[in-house]
Amino acid sequence: MSVTRHIEQEDLALFAMQLLSKDEAAAVTTHLEHCTECSQQLAKVQGDLAVYAHTVDMHPPSAQARERLMKQVAREKKAVPIERAAAREAGSGYRTDLGSGRTMQDEPQRGFGSRIFPWVGWAMAAGLAVAAGSLYREREVMRGTLIRQVGEMDRLAADAASAQRVMDAMTDRTAKHVMLTKTPATPTPPAPQGRATYVPEKGTLIFLANNMEPLQPSKAYELWLIPADGRNPIPAGTFHPDDHGNASVILPSLPRGVEAKTFGVTVEDDGGSQTPHLPIIMAGS
């Protein structure tokens, strides 16, 4: 490369913004090693770019934005008329620009702002696109986190409300405490036992059982509230004992204000029944 050929300012600006291809950037780097004037021009370009950089938050352009920019550069370079290029080559006694053959005397120097501003606009647009995409992804992540946190808060609130109802039932002075034991028709030890805590005004019921015998997979125990006014028994929930024979029914859905005459437990098909089937294996009042 001859040192009498110089690089035009548009190429220096693209080189400073790292927007040239690898081959073009290598050619510019080689030229700058031998050309003091172009090195000085590059320093001025870099200084002006630094000023522009302080006017907007810059971000690295994406691969798609870079590709569109390079295609635009290629189209603008191809748009130079062949006649003008030939006329510039005719003035061989003057300095020419790298790659384009443009002489320094062919046309007046354009201001640096008019040369570099379009490329800065491309870089700013690409940076803003990247920033917008990043902000959108961050917003979606925050939105998902907020939804999960709201769901967790709702669950905790529901658990707290249930725990408070259990505590209220256990400490209510009006609560009725009933011990359920095996009826004479059931076999001997270990004897199943159950304790029911019932608050009629609130329709709150807590039932705990132990020593319950295991059932077939298609069967389930069902708890019944038998009203004192003679109405039909009210189903109060089904349950399956664990491996140690323990089971519970906590806060089943019951109507309020129903006085209980007694409580009973039957064996029903899995899923429960609306009418108890004999025998009643446990009862208490």
Tens of pLDDT, residue by residue over 100-148, are 444 444 444 445 455 555 555 556 666 666 667 777 788 888 888 888 8
pLDDT recorded at residue 158: 86
Contact indicator for 162, 182 with CB cutoff of 8 Å? no
d(CA 238, CA 216): 14
Residue 258 has pLDDT above 70, yes or no: yes
Torsional sign, CA 50, 51, 52, 57: positive
pLDDT exceeds 60 at position 21:
yes
Q: Which amino acid is at 111?
A: G
Token readout for 28 is 């510019």
Higher pLDDT, 266 or 6: 266
Instruction: Report the percentage of the chain scoring pLDDT > 70.
Output: 66
Tell me the mean pLDDT in the region 271-279: 93
Distance CA 17, CA 15 (A): 5
- Residue from 250, 249, 251, 278 nearest 266 by CA: 278
- Count other Cβ atoms within 10 Å, centred on residue 118: 13
CATH 2.60.40 residue ranges of the chain are 176-284
> In this predicted model, which residue has the larger pLDDT, 24 or 81?
24
Residue 153 pLDDT more than 70?
A: yes
- Name the burial class of residue 226, with classes exposed (0-12), middle (13-18) and buried (19+) by CB atoms within 10 angstroms of its CB: buried
Give CA–CA dist 204/261, Å, rounded: 15
Q: Which of 157, 178, 183, 160 is nearest to 282 (CA)?
A: 183
Residue 271 near residue 250 (C-beta atoms within 8 A): no
d(CA 131, CA 105): 43
Encode pLDDT of 203-223 as tens digits: 999 999 999 999 999 999 999
Q: What is the pLDDT of residue 54?
A: 56
CA distance linking residue 219 with residue 212, whole number of Å: 13
Distance CA 65, CA 123 (A): 9
**pLDDT of amino acid 238:** 96
Q: Quick one: which H or E segment has residue 96? A: strand 96-97
Q: What is the pLDDT of residues 55-69, one digit of tens each?
A: 555 555 556 656 666
pLDDT surpassing 50 at residue 155: yes
Domain 176-284 has CATH 1.10.20: no
Query: CA 192, CA 202: separation in Å to the nearest integer?
Result: 28
- pTM of this structure: 0.44
Burial class of 126 by CB neighbour count within 10 A (0 to 12, 13 to 18, 19+): buried
* Per-residue pLDDT reduced to its tens digit, 162-188: 888 888 887 888 887 888 876 666 556
Residue 267 has what pLDDT? 96
Whether the Cβ atoms of residue 116 and residue 122 lie closer than 8 Å to each other: no
Lowest mean pLDDT segment, chosen from 3-17, 18-32, 125-139: 125-139
Residue 200 has pLDDT above 90, yes or no: yes
pLDDT at 83 > cutoff 60: no
Q: Which one is predicted more confidently, 16 or 67?
A: 16
Does residue 270 surpass a pLDDT of 90?
yes
